[in-house]
Amino acid sequence: MNASIRRGSTLLSASGVRSYNPRSRKIGRGPANGLLATFTPGEIPLMASEIPAAPLPPSPPAGPEIPLPPVPTTAPAPLAPPLPQAKTEVDLPLPPVKLDWIGALLSYLIPGLGQVYQGRIAKGLLFFFGLYVLFFYGMWMGKWHNVWLPDVSDMPPLEIAGNRLSGVPSSLYYRPQFMGQFWIGVAAWPSVLQYVNYDPNKDAGPIFGTFERAPTEETLNKLQRDGNKRWDLGWVYTVIAGVLNLLVIYDALAGPMFREPPKRED
């Protein structure tokens, strides 16, 4: 493209303002930098508006559309079905205690008999042999003269708050060991029968003879003088056996101390 250039005309280029001198064929830039651009002969400067724009890079050929992979959508995971609830056993409150007076009476008569009556045979037999062995072993250590209820008719009676208590209270006052021995049950009953039928003029009582009969003073002195400490230790065993049978009686009356609560299924 050709364009006429006037003398002293000013050209614009993309890099700034140029002044054209036809004699030197030089174009001087503006006073900003003082640089001069020299044109070779035959070169025709163009106006800035006539300079063609740089060609744009060719656009890539349109090809077939490549489908994008589908974006996975994160859907909420389905809730797992609830597990079947196992049937659990729920403790119910303990039922009220039912007192078994018959069982208690049987365990008083013979240790463990009330438990056998209630169907707890093993426990009843354990109580029976354990307490009877302890009781009769203590009697053997005392040479069968340590379980009795004395006759105190010729001794001062017991007085409480000015009241005289004769008979059994006075006898228990002089022989307090019998209050523990009595709870062994029928094994201590002969001493009660001997007490009721005691005759100081006789050496033996009815039915049981001298078994669990209050010994004479001469017999007691002989046991304490000629015997050893086993005689005193024997009555301790008999008292322990009687007191332990109180626990056996209560076990038969109110049931075991630790009870299993009834179970129910949800």
pLDDT at 205 (0 to 100): 87
State the pTM of this model: 0.61
CA distance 171 to 165: 10
CA distance 128 to 67: 95
pLDDT at 102 (0 to 100): 94
pLDDT at 60 (0 to 100): 64
pLDDT at 263 (0 to 100): 63
Domain ranges of the chain: 10-50, 101-256
pLDDT at 116 (0 to 100): 95
pLDDT at 248 (0 to 100): 96
pLDDT at 117 (0 to 100): 94
Contact by Cβ (8 Å): 148, 190: no
pLDDT at 225 (0 to 100): 82
CA distance 181 to 131: 11
Taking the chain (266 residues) in runs of 10, the rounded mean pLDDT of each run is: 44 46 49 47 54 66 67 68 62 70 95 94 95 95 90 86 87 93 95 91 87 88 80 91 96 76 58
